[in-house]
Amino acid sequence: MSKKSFRHAITEAIRHEMERDPRVIFFGEDIVGGFGGSANKRGASGGIMGTTVGLYEQFGEKRIFDTPISESAIMGAAAGAALTGLRPIAELMFADFLGVCFDQIFNQAAKFRYMFGGNAKTPMVIRMMTGAGFGAAAQHSQALWPIFTHIPGLKVVLPSNPYDAKGLLIQAIRDDDPVIFMEHKVMYDDMMEVPDGPYAIPFGEANVTRAGDDVTVVAFGRMVQFANKVADKLAGKISLDVIDPRTTSPMDTETIIESVEHTGRLVVVDEAYPLCSTASEVISIVAEHALKALKTAPVKVTPPHTPVPAAPGLEALYVPSVETIEKAVLKVMAG
């Protein structure tokens, strides 16, 4: 056990699984760096966020390599390799690039098992960066997990801290279904105690990060950190039950329902767009299964229904914050 960054936790997870299973391969754009450059130095970058440093040196070009900028070919190659016996990890650098390769993910990889009557499996992981906070604007900042969550056949993972990142990524690589693994780009430098050896965190099991009695706060990904801050700030006055579902597909509905039955109040915090979203889904689950427990109407804390702006001031307004979450908590307490 030692303090590790989110970035390092990701690298360790990939390393453990590549060491354990020779069928695990890893490819994407610029994950190694230096293929074809004038420096003639392979391994030059280790990924644009440094999540893959040292892996090329350890595993070599057969197991980890850079590809042309061809997202459809990357995703399809992963799906085809998974169908024929490998366990590929494919990197889609930014979640926003989904727009150029969605067919290979949602019409191909996600559907093989069903279309082929259960006679196929597609064990692959698609890693991608997600989320706002770097002023990267509308095409490099989106939180698109609701789109993936909507598709049967995909599993969707949103780690909120380095410990979960490592355990969930190991589970993703060992999983026999296609898994979308979304890493918030603002969290790579987050530090935490993380075990040195491999461990897997099962999907569909929420983590209750703060236990409380007054308000259930369901938060996704980076928003869990904000919700925890609000819980700590209000401690002694209002007690929050903060739930991090960790995966949006499968979703741990049981933990959410039990909590709302206990508290009677619900705030959902999500960085994704608000319409037909994971936040909407949580409220729908509670409406269906725990309506009578609610003392007041649930509140959704999400960005407005707009693209992500470039201006730092506007971006700060766009993303849910400790302040907007606290306001929502006070609102359900007053209601």
Length of the chain counted residue by residue: 335
CA 246 from chain centre, in angstroms, equals 8
Tell me the closest approach of the beta carbon of residue 165 to other proteins, in angstroms.
21
75, 156, 168, 319: residue in contact with other proteins (rule CB under 8 A): 75
Cα 229 to Cα 232: distance, rounded to the nearest angstrom: 5
Write down the residue that tokens 């197991």 correspond to: 63
| Binding to other proteins in span 83-122, by CB under 8 A | 83-86, 88, 103-104, 107-108, 111-121
The answer to whether the CB of 267 falls within 8 A of the CB of 328 is yes
Establish if 34 lies at the interface with other proteins (CB under 8 A).
no
Establish if 330 lies at the interface with other proteins (CB under 8 A).
no
Tell me the closest approach of the beta carbon of residue 122 to other proteins, in angstroms.
9
CA 230 from chain centre, in angstroms, equals 22
Cα 3 to Cα 24: distance, rounded to the nearest angstrom: 27
Closest-CA residue to 55 (of 12, 99, 107): 12
Tell me the closest approach of the beta carbon of residue 245 to other proteins, in angstroms.
15
Nearer to other proteins, 61 or 232 (CB): 61
Establish if 79 lies at the interface with other proteins (CB under 8 A).
yes
DSSP notation for 39-87: T--TTSSSSTTSTTTTHHHHH-TTTEEE--S-HHHHHHHHHHHHHTT--
Q: Which residues are catalytic?
A: 140
x-or-dash pattern for other proteins, window 162-201, by CB under 8 A?
Answer: -------------xxx------------------------
Looking at 72-80, 127-135, 229-237, 306-314, which segment touches other proteins (CB under 8 A)? Answer: 72-80
Contact residues toward other proteins (CB under 8 A) are 23, 25, 62-63, 65, 67-68, 70, 72-73, 75-86, 88, 103-104, 107-108, 111-121, 123, 152-153, 155, 175-177, 204, 250
